[in-house]
A and B are shown apart, each in its own frame.
Chain A
Amino acid sequence: MIRAHQPGSQPFDIPEVIPNPAVVPKQEPAPKEPIKVSEKVSHERQHR
């Protein structure tokens, strides 16, 4: 394993950052939707 030296205790404070207009943002795959809990089960629990 290569261990880097920590640059410093304070993060860089780069005052001005703008998007590079030559870079086309990649389309990342959309995150999977969370598993849905069956509504039927929820209803049953509510009626108990």
Chain B
Amino acid sequence: MSASSASPSLRFLANCKVQIQVCSPGRLNARRSALLGIGFYLGSDTLRRYACGDLETTVSYGRRFQRGRRLIIYDGGGEFDRNFEWWERFENGKDRLIRLQLPFKNGRSDLLAGSGSKLDLENVNLLATLLIHAEHQGYWSKLGERFEEDMQSLFDRHLLAGLVTAPWVRADEAETADDKEFLSALQELVAYAFEESVRVKKQSGILIPRLQNKSTSSFQGILHEMQSMLQKYRTEVVRQSRQHDNGGRT
């Protein structure tokens, strides 16, 4: 994580003068980068309406990096330390193997959160863990794949499946180079979320008391559904981790 434009005495969370770039180890593929970006956006405690130039960084253009204007950029430089624990499953998935190094030698997926909150950091941590384990067959890979399926169902219900095919990260492939295609998808997501927020505010006094009795969240709209999904997967990660802490098996 990095922060710029901040004096040491400033609080760095939810501070408009502090910019947060959340770095997760490993490069997510194009589709998973889209899920990370959309999950971060819908799960945040603030909805942001980006302007065209907001996502331009020092690594957007030039000979060396050319990451474009994206919410997610691959490693834009710096050092990479592999010495972090990595969990895997063995013995038919019943036991846990803890490796002392990450399974990849280099590469990051960085999310430009801008002014970010504690919830933003927790959400990106959860999302990136699920997705990178799905990408590298880690301990949480099955859970990550289930999360991907749930996200796809969410997009299908809200007719937003096309968002995932946009280039949310610029990779080496030429077809990911179009900033406008990404910005168009981002603006569609932003417009949908802002409309949804207006609807939720208007109806909160009428519908929510009735909906509280229903077990499904599908009536509540994409913002509530995203919160429910994050909560569900966070709970599951914590539950399975505690089983190991207590000496049990998953």
Contacts and interface: CB of A to CB of B under 8 A. Distances in A.
Given A4-B110, A17-B47, A17-B48, A9 B204 contact: no
B17 to A, nearest CB: 7
Interface residues of A, number: 24
A5 B58 CA distance: 8
Given A12-B19, A14-B54, A23-B119, A7 B112 contact: yes
A13 interface: yes
B37 interface: no
A6 B60 CA distance: 12
B80 A2 contact: yes
Contacts of A18: 46-47, 194, 197
Interface string A7-48: 111011111111111110110000000000000000000000
B58 A2 contact: no
A23 B48 contact: no
Contacts of B124: none
A19 B46 contact: yes
A13 B44 CA distance: 18
A8 B56 contact: yes
Nearest to B118: A26
Query: Which of B18, B45, B110, B220 has the most chain A CB atoms closer than 10 A to its own CB?
Result: B45
Interface stretch (B71-79, B85-93, B181-189): B71-79
Contact of B204 (A4, A16, A21, A23): A21
A22 to B, nearest CB: 4
Interface class of chain A by DSSP:
loop
A37 B13 CA distance: 32
A6 B116 CA distance: 15
Contact of B224 (A9, A11, A16, A22): A22
B16 A23 contact: no
B17 A11 contact: yes
A6 B23 CA distance: 11
A16 B48 contact: yes
Given A1-B81, A5-B2, A21 B59 contact: no
A21 B222 CA distance: 11
Interface in B26-60: 44-51, 54-59
Contacts of A19: 45-47
Given A5-B77, A20-B45, A23-B44, 5 more contacts: A2-B78, A4-B76, A7-B21, A20-B44, A21-B201
The 9 A-B residue pairs whose C-beta atoms are closest, nearest first, are A5-B76, A22-B223, A4-B2, A3-B78, A16-B49, A12-B114, A23-B45, A7-B57, A21-B200
